[in-house]
Structure 1
Amino acid sequence: MKRAHEFSGSQKRKLKIQRVANAIEKTHKISEFFSSNISQLHIHNNTGVDTQSVSRGGLSSAQGFGNLWSRLSKTLKTHEQSTHHKECMMVWHDKRSGNSIDLQSSKLIQEEQTYWRAVLFRLLNIIQFLAERNLALRGTNEKFGDTRNGNFLGEVELIAKFDPVLSEHVRCAKSHELSDHYLSNRIQNELIELLAKSIRDKIISKVLASKYYSIILDCTPDISHTDQLSIVLRGVEFKEGFGAESFEHFVEFLDVYDTTGKGLFDSIINFLSKYGIAIEDCRGQGYNSGSNMRGKNHGVQACFLEVNKKAAYMPCTSHRLNLVIADAARSSITSISFFGYLQRIYNLFAASTKRWVILKKHVTHFTVKSLPDTRWEAKVEAVKSLRFQTTEILEAIEELERVSLDNRDGFISTECRALAIEVRSWRFLVCLITWYDLLFLINIISKALQSPSICINDQISHIEAGMSFVSQYRHGGVAIAEGKAKELADELEVDRAYPEPRRRKKYVFSATNRQMSQIIRLVKKCFAENFSIHL
């Protein structure tokens, strides 16, 4: 290829003309490009305004300027002063500064969403607070400011005094600025259902993650006289860094109308299939000792074992322990009488506020308590008040007797006299010491067996310790109880002797009819003198 100094003069002129022609051609192409597209570049791409729907002229014309680029600076000034350019610049500025209608609408929607999320978050926490403490939500009405509007609205009004979100919400609800304020009883029920579903789903996910599980059932009628089957699932959760940890959760109440073993088993199958829990993964089942539960042929445990042989049945240990104590107490007339006197002492003072004041004047630590009907180990609370405050309770009974005599109340005075005589007896004091020692131990074991985190080894050790204590107490426990009762007997000045059993005596009257008539007249005369003299 030749260099520039190698060309002749004519060749150099031709080369120069060719370069100028190429430059002019490129200039025309650039001019055509900008003339046809400068409107879109300046208006459409920057502002989004439809360039076909506005009048355009000068720089923004679709035809461009052709070869009139010498007037470009003057045309630019004219274009910048045009109404179309100013309108486009205002639109572009609004979009850039965020003042468009769409953006403003989006901000309003976002603020509304944030507001309602904050309100619902507070309402959910109020419902959770009340539910955790087993408190009723609704009252007799739903009026703001009324003391009978229930715990839920009361909590809302209380928090509204310190929280600006709920304060504004309550204000709008009171002034009827909101058609939906989410404080009605229907919304409360829906929020409760949402919380329950969230908790239940979390429990089910834990059960599914643990793979194997045990199921615990109990059936009892509610206040509407409908049998409800409570379902409790138990499993093992593996936590990284902590190892394995057992868990036990109540899941759901099921209304049952067929309480036979087959009917209850069908309800359980429907429950497990509803939440996707495989019955084949069940490794344990625990119920009470009812025939429909533990029946060998037609009980729930028998139906379970027909489907899953690995679902070992374990009767409720705490329930069986309670039955053992109940049967032991009912087998002794002395024990029956002892607990009967405890209940009579409670009924005596609890029937009147004036009598309770007399009791509180003497008793400062443990008040007398009623005996529970089913949970026998809980009777230790009733025994404990008399075990450690025998003297104080006896003084209260004697004072109540004196007050009753002053008020001419023969029924209460007679009841107080009978209870005072029984409490001062050696037999009652020995029973008091014996049953307190037994129930105190049984109560500890029963609560330990009901712990969700207890393992089978701990259960066995607790049961063996209880059996050993009862066995030793059976042989030498009476002597131990008598030794402890001596202190109370000395304090109460009670004769340490058991009452002799009553025997029927046959009296043989050898008196004549005349002598018998004289005896009867003498008895009547004494009764008349001692009883009728005050009439």
Structure 2
Amino acid sequence: MEEDLTSPHRKAEKACEDLMNQQSHISQSFDKFTSKEVADNRLRLKSSIEATRWIAFQGCSFRGHDESITSTNRGKFLELLSFIASYNDKVVEVLDKAPRNASYTSPTTKKQILQVLAAKVKNVIREKIGDAKFCIIVDEARDESKKEQMSIVLRFVDKDGYVQERFFGIVHVKDTAASTLKEGIFSVLSRHTLDVQNIRGQGYDGASNMRGEWNGLKALILSQCPYAYYNHCFAHRLQLALVAASKEFIPAHHCFTKLSSIINVVGASCKRNDQLKAAHASNIAHLLNINELESGKGLNNIGSLQKAGDTRWSSHLKSISSLIKMFSATCEVLLNIIDDENTPAQRGDADAAYEMLTSFEFVFILHLMKKILEISNLLCQALQLQSQDILNAMHFVSSTKFLIQNLRDDGWDELVANVKSFCEAVNISMPDFSAQYIARRGRARHQQDEITVELHFKVNLFNAVKDSQLQELNIKFNDNTVEFIILSSALDPREMHNAFRIDDICRLVQKFYPKDF
């Protein structure tokens, strides 16, 4: 009688036999390896691990443009392996005799090694945190492959009482919606058995999807972790309040747009940049000869126009200062382009840039913004110091408000005098401040009140930009945030050397952490 191979019972028996045969085959394969082959494979793997670890610590790329055997530069990983082998004949031998399926140099192997190293680092960080409370710092950006990546940093106090910040990983997210980011954060934390209820702080940038009061990431996390208070970085928040508020003010926004356009025209080629430096050097020599410029080491360096960056707020001050410093040289380069360039489009761009550059309103706003950014820049540099304590930081914020208010109340005459002196030096005509102001670009028919030119510049520009900045500062640093930060400073060990502020600690507990104590 023939055996029924289609019955369920026989199928199960056949599967068991195949599994046993497979296990027997794997066992036999391992037994076939000699001790020398095992040692060679371990040496190959160790070399790859060391090369991978070194490149990862340096933050360098692994792959090369051409990794073929005939290439003169096969990329950092393979070249580093070759360098290691050059000092060890045994490594040379095992790498040269490595079979293709056991060379341990494939991209997959490198990724697996990196994943093992990353897992070990995360485990060490997790052990240091233990059951303690911690804060999360999150940011997101696109990588080169256009994938949205979210980075997570954990901030905690270790067993020795020192504050630690540790990068914990990068997570790919499908979009930047607050709910998506929250799911990604909670998934990483739960995967490493970190209780989300232990979150005691959130740190993000000022984007609306992060700081939104109702649907932002901070609000979604606060709904589940009531003590995960959100505080924006002081230095970044201060710059956002001053620079961003200025850009929301239309004349100031136009000034930054014109500034960028002028710098792009002048710096469009190496030839123009060389002309700019030569003109600036000639101008410095002339001023030194007539004793209108102070001489000294490092005072009159020949530089170039600086571009302002969207995320590096201090670059706006550098950009404005460089243009004011090289104003005459910039005018000279633009006039040369208008006279010498053969392309009508280039002459047209230079002519438009020259008209913008030599207008009194542009020069006035340029000096106004320089004055404002000088106030904020010193304070932002101080706020970024690692040794800065919380109370000093709050005093810096208060002093910023005071200086801006003081500039609004008493700085008008000084600013006008500086602008007038500058315009006389660069041959820009000053408007008659007592004359009636007439709005341009068709806005005159909407002008209801008859105001003078001086009143326009003082009220519509000078006072208006100061008021918007003071309002923005009061919003960014509201009373509740300031109180929370000041009360938290009572927990700073440096403060306890002076006085144990028991009243502030009790107030902090009662208002912000009632369930923790």
Measured against the shorter chain, the TM-score band is 0.5 to 0.7
Is residue 354 from structure 1 mapped to residue 275 from structure 2 by the alignment?
A: no
Aligned pair partner of 1:146 in 59, 71, 96: 71
Is the 2:52–2:77 Cα contact (8 Å) retained in structure 1? no
Is the 1:229–1:253 Cα contact (8 Å) retained in structure 2? yes
Is residue 126 from structure 1 mapped to residue 58 from structure 2 by the alignment?
A: no
- When normalised by structure 2's length, the TM-score is 0.63
Aligned pair partner of 2:323 in 364, 381, 386: 386
Partner of 1:492: 426
Aligned pair partner of 2:165 in 236, 248, 258: 248
Q: Distance in 2 between matches of 1:448 and 1:458?
A: 9
Q: Distance in 2 between matches of 1:417 and 1:127?
A: 51
CA gap of 1:222–1:111, structure 2 versus 1, over 3 A, is: closer
Q: Distance in 1 between matches of 2:320 and 2:138?
A: 31
Is residue 236 from structure 1 mapped to residue 157 from structure 2 by the alignment?
A: yes
Is residue 264 from structure 1 mapped to residue 181 from structure 2 by the alignment?
A: yes
Report how many aligned residue pairs link the two structures. 386
Q: Distance in 2 between matches of 1:359 and 1:205?
A: 58
1:138 Cα offset (Å): 0.7
Aligned pair partner of 1:282 in 181, 191, 199: 199
Q: Secondary structure at the match of 1:312?
A: coil
5+ residue gaps in structure 2?
A: 1-33, 281-300, 443-517
Q: Distance in 1 between matches of 2:271 and 2:170?
A: 43
CA gap of 1:144–1:490, structure 2 versus 1, over 3 A, is: farther
Is residue 413 from structure 1 mapped to residue 413 from structure 2 by the alignment?
A: no
Partner of 2:357: 423
1:449 Cα offset (Å): 4.8
Is the 1:288–1:315 Cα contact (8 Å) retained in structure 2? yes
Aligned pair partner of 2:371 in 437, 443, 447: 437
Q: Secondary structure at the match of 1:252?
A: strand
Q: Distance in 1 between matches of 2:37 and 2:396?
A: 62
CA gap of 1:290–1:396, structure 2 versus 1, over 3 A, is: closer
Aligned pair partner of 1:217 in 130, 138, 148: 138
Please provide the CA RMSD for this pair. 3.7
Q: Distance in 1 between matches of 2:127 and 2:392?
A: 28
CA gap of 1:351–1:312, structure 2 versus 1, over 3 A, is: same
1:164 Cα offset (Å): 0.9
For CA contacts below 8 A with separation 6 or more, give which structure has more relative contact order: 2
Q: Secondary structure at the match of 1:284?
A: strand
After TM superposition, the structure 1 = structure 2 runs for residues 31-110 of structure 1, keeping only pairs within 5 Å, are: none
Deviations 1:172-217 (A, max 9, x none): 54576886343332232223323323333333333337x1211223
Aligned pair partner of 1:401 in 338, 341, 360: 338
Is the 1:215–1:286 Cα contact (8 Å) retained in structure 2? yes
Is the 1:426–1:498 Cα contact (8 Å) retained in structure 2? no
1:319 Cα offset (Å): 4.9
1:348 Cα offset (Å): 0.9
Partner of 1:164: 87
Is the 1:248–1:452 Cα contact (8 Å) retained in structure 2? no
CA gap of 1:232–1:126, structure 2 versus 1, over 3 A, is: closer
Q: Distance in 2 between matches of 1:503 and 1:379?
A: 28
Partner of 1:36: none
Q: Distance in 1 between matches of 2:308 and 2:62?
A: 31
Q: Distance in 1 between matches of 2:432 and 2:123?
A: 62
Aligned pair partner of 2:397 in 452, 463, 474: 463
Q: Distance in 2 between matches of 1:379 and 1:321?
A: 14
1:251 Cα offset (Å): 1.5
Deviations 1:242-271 (A, max 9, x none): xx4322233222233475544433333222
Is residue 338 from structure 1 mapped to residue 258 from structure 2 by the alignment?
A: no
Q: Distance in 1 between matches of 2:222 and 2:250?
A: 42
Q: Distance in 1 between matches of 2:129 and 2:374?
A: 36
Q: Secondary structure at the match of 2:331?
A: helix
Q: Distance in 2 between matches of 1:156 and 1:178?
A: 16
Partner of 1:523: none
Q: Distance in 1 between matches of 2:309 and 2:402?
A: 27
Q: Distance in 2 between matches of 1:452 and 1:234?
A: 14
Partner of 1:308: 225
Deviations 1:335-361 (A, max 9, x none): 233212211122213433433343344
Is the 2:306–2:319 Cα contact (8 Å) retained in structure 1? yes
CA gap of 1:305–1:345, structure 2 versus 1, over 3 A, is: closer
Between the two proteins, what is the percent identity of the paired residues? Answer: 25
Is the 2:48–2:81 Cα contact (8 Å) retained in structure 1? no
Q: Distance in 2 between matches of 1:447 and 1:188?
A: 41
Is the 1:486–1:496 Cα contact (8 Å) retained in structure 2? yes
Q: Distance in 2 between matches of 1:114 and 1:164?
A: 18
1:314 Cα offset (Å): 2.5
1:123 Cα offset (Å): 0.8
1:487 Cα offset (Å): 5.2
Equivalent position amino acid for 2:255 in 1: F
Q: Distance in 2 between matches of 1:206 and 1:483?
A: 60
CA gap of 1:259–1:403, structure 2 versus 1, over 3 A, is: closer
Q: Secondary structure at the match of 2:152?
A: strand
Is the 1:238–1:245 Cα contact (8 Å) retained in structure 2? yes
Aligned pair partner of 2:415 in 481, 490, 498: 481
Deviations 1:387-442 (A, max 9, x none): 332233333323333322xx3x3332343334334434444333333323333443
Q: Distance in 2 between matches of 1:464 and 1:219?
A: 31
Partner of 1:365: 302
